[in-house]
Amino acid sequence: MTTLTIVVRYFAAARAAAGVEEEKVQLPSGASVSDAVAELRRLHPEGLPKILDAVSYLLDGVAVRDRTRVLTDGAELDVLPPFAGG
C-alpha cells in the first residue's frame, strides 16, 4: 500500500494534550483530513480526542472547511485552538 506523510503542528491546548509541538504522521494515499484526525485520536487517546472536537484546522495555511479534502504527501496540518469573537 502506498502511503503519504504529513506534518501535524499543534498549538495551545492541543500541543499540551499531544505532548509534542509537531509530528510526522503516515497515512494511506488518498487519505482525507478526516482520516488524519482519526489517526491523531488513535495516536493520542488520552487528552487529545476531546480537544479535537473543538479545534480548527489549517491545511497548508488555508482554513479547512471540508474535512473530506484529500491530503498530499508533505502537507502541513495545523491544529488550532478555538478562537473567541466573531
By the 8 A CB rule, do 37 and 1 touch?
no
Higher pLDDT, 18 or 1: 18
Would you state the pLDDT for residue 83? 67
User: pLDDT of 20-46, one tens digit each?
Assistant: 999 999 999 999 999 999 999 999 999
Q: 86: helix, coil or strand?
A: coil
User: pLDDT of 43-58, one tens digit each?
Assistant: 999 989 999 989 999 9
User: pLDDT of 62-86, one tens digit each?
Assistant: 999 999 999 999 999 999 987 655 4
DSSP 27-71: EETT-BHHHHHHHHHHH-TTTHHHHHTT-EEEETTEE-S-TTPBP
User: What pTM was computed for the model?
Assistant: 0.92
